[in-house]
Amino acid sequence: MKCMSIELKREFIERLREELPYAKVIVLNYEDVLVEIPPTKLRETVEIVQNRFKCLLRTCAASDEREMNKSFAMYYIFGNDSLGLNIIVKTMADSENPVLPSISDISFAADWCELEAYDLMGIRFSGRKLYRFILPPSWPEGLYPLRKDVKYPLRVKASVTGERIGLTREAEAQILVPLGPYHPALHEPEYFELLVEGERVVGLVYRGFHVHRGIEKIAEVKLTYDQIPFLAERICGICGFTHSTAYCQAVEKAAKIDTPERAQYIRSILLEIERIHSHLLWIGVVCHILGYDAGFMHLWRIRERVMVLAEKLTGSRKMYSINKIGGIRRDIDRDRVKEVQETLSKLKKEFMSIIDVITSVPEIVKRLKGTGILPRSEALKYAVVGPVARGSGLKRDVRKDYPYAAYREVSFDIPVYTEGDNLARFLVRVEEVKQSIAIIEQLLDKLPGGPICISRVSVPEGIIAVSATEAPRGENVHFIITGRGRPYRWRVRAPTYQNIPALNVMLKDTPLADAPITIASIDPCFSCTDRIIVVDVKTGRRRVLVSSVAGGVLSHG
């Protein structure tokens, strides 16, 4: 099977060379192919890669490469899920006047990437409207924080300003309803502006990036390769281990490091424990939003056992901090293996019992069924990931499509529902909890002996690699260009970043009362989406920038 897969990849790459005669196609490794093209061929290339080769855009990364080749670069990372192959389309922009053609009308998933590159790197995109997306209105013109010549820490004096974010009333009966940045239904600061006619949502504008932590910039200028896993794990307070795993795998791939088999198994075990606790948290929150607090409390009571289990295995309930380049820092002994097995056996029975109760409550099912619909065709346009994709009939899962760690060694199903509503996304997560338990049981039964890390790590410069992990919310993508002692460029794309734009479809023409549960249905993690910049205001000691609640930035370093 593996030989067949390699042969299919070779055939795909040869077809790519034939269809793109103007491109330089470079095979980086068994999973990544670099396609270098001139800017004039960008739109044509994207059309071919996306439509003829059936690849979905996973993310984009802007890079300041003036030190290397006197240009800016844009990397568009497409994925062919059926082959487990990344197609990295690279094009260059002039250092003095960086302008590239927009592809946001061809690939919806490129919209945010282009605005981010414009805001933070100063690359402009022709053929589309450009506006401040991450930075506040009062940010100084011509100052682009992710450029290499902007030093860290950056101190900017910013004034408090108001900001409208785009919606206008088209009829007298329409009203604007703000949701956020602080709202009982949102556990992190995000702002949704809903245009409502009667009780029906007819328009939506989103303004995020209220909590910026400078993670990519810090990694590129301050930390070493071995320090970054601790930072990567703090991208998300719920599923941080999947980020540190994705980062470590990217560096390991770039450096051609053969991570010990036992370490790969333990990574997978902890990733699935993280998935279980995250899904239990989410299902409980859904019960809370829908007014069924008994379900919320029971699910969090069950989840507590998973948190205790994580602490016994890693020393921490949440920030495990055991990943390192080339392996892990902490082993699992025999007594712990038995304890995990016993805990999961009890948890599975108790979980299914409370799920049977929840799904028998008519009010719960009625609020979920038929609401927040994302049709399969729209899910493909937005290239959504995780339970959002699987709830809309897309069988996408990095653990199967781009196998990593020890996932090749176990058997499990990918739950898929075609309805595309809030209930479908709920049921996907319920099924995934059961599958995660089965995966952990198989991994424990097969857990091999041997070392858990390698002793020496050497990372060459100038190597490009892409790594992805299937977080509870969907795929995390980590793109890296290696540098001397630390990444030259590290780009993180969390699943919420990919899924939020699809809310434009999910909320359109729905009752206003369904907006909170529909937003919650993507399991949004705003902190792992808001990760770009640190701004020190006034004294330079307090890194806080405050703007109006009408959509400005409310951020802290």
Find out whether 67 and 97 touch, Cβ atoms under 8 Å. Answer: no
The confidence score (pLDDT) of residue 547 equals 28
Structure token digits, residue 272: 């699935």
From the list 221, 227, 218, the residue with the least C-alpha distance to 457 is 227
**Total-model pTM:** 0.90
Among candidates 523, 513, 505, which has minimal Cα distance to 206? 505
Most confident region among 19-23, 209-213, 237-241 by mean pLDDT: 19-23
Torsion 138-141-143-144 (CA) sign? positive
What average pLDDT score do residues 89-115 get?
96
Q: What percent of the chain has pLDDT over 90?
A: 74
At residue 37, the pLDDT reads 98
pLDDT of 173 over the 80 cut: no
Centre a 10 Å sphere on the Cβ of residue 557 and count the other Cβ atoms it contains: 18
DSSP 140: P
Instruction: Quote the mean pLDDT of the chain.
Output: 88
Number of continuous H segments (helices) and E segments (strands) in the chain = 18, 17
Output phi, psi for 178, to 5 deg. -80, 135
Whether 490 and 63 have beta carbons less than 8 Å apart is answered as no
Six-digit token string for 428? 């996907």
Q: Residue 177: CA atoms inside 13 Å, Cβ hemisphere, count? A: 20
Residue 464 scores a pLDDT above 80: yes
Tell me the domains of the chain and their CATH numbers. Answer: 2-126 (3.30.460.80), 258-466 (1.10.645.10)
The model's pLDDT over 382-437, given as tens digits with 9 standing for 90+, comes to 999 999 999 999 999 999 999 999 999 999 999 999 999 999 999 999 999 999 99
The single-letter code of the amino acid at 532 is I
Whole-angstrom CA distances from 347 to 107, 152, 174, 266, 359 are 42, 47, 48, 20, 18
Rounded to whole angstroms, the Cα distance separating 59 from 56 reads 9
Question: What was the pLDDT predicted at 206?
Answer: 79
Band of pLDDT at residue 6, cut at 50, 70 and 90:
confident
Burial class, 283, CB count within 10 angstroms (exposed 0-12 / middle 13-18 / buried 19+)? buried
Q: What is the mean pLDDT of residues 258-262?
A: 96
Model confidence band, residue 475 (pLDDT cutoffs 50, 70, 90) = very high
The predicted pLDDT at position 56 comes to 96
Give yes or no for residue 476 having a pLDDT over 80: yes
pLDDT of res. 158: 64
Run of H or E residues at 230: helix 228-232
pLDDT of res. 190: 75
pLDDT at 230 over 60: yes
**Rounded to 5 degrees, what angle do the CA atoms 470, 487, 554 make?**
70
Strands 24-27 and 99-101: unpaired
Beta bridge partners of 358: none
Report percent pLDDT > 70 for the chain.
89
What is the rounded distance in angstroms from the CA atom of residue 316 to the CA atom of residue 319?
6
* Cα 428 to Cα 386: distance, rounded to the nearest angstrom: 9
Cβ burial, residue 402 (10 Å; 0-12/13-18/19+) = buried
Alpha-carbon distance 380 to 387, whole Å? 14
More confident residue, 179 or 323: 323
* Neighbour count for residue 270 (Cβ, 10 Å): 24
Instruction: Kindly report the length of the chain.
Output: 557
E strands in 44-84: 56-65, 71-80
Query: What confidence score (pLDDT) does residue 528 get?
Result: 58
pLDDT digits (tens, 9 = 90+) for 484-529: 999 999 999 999 999 999 999 999 989 988 988 999 999 887 555 5
The pLDDT value recorded for residue 214 is 77
pLDDT bin (cut points 50, 70, 90) of residue 552 is: very low
Query: Residue 186: what pLDDT?
Result: 61
What value does the mean pLDDT take over residues 292-316? 94
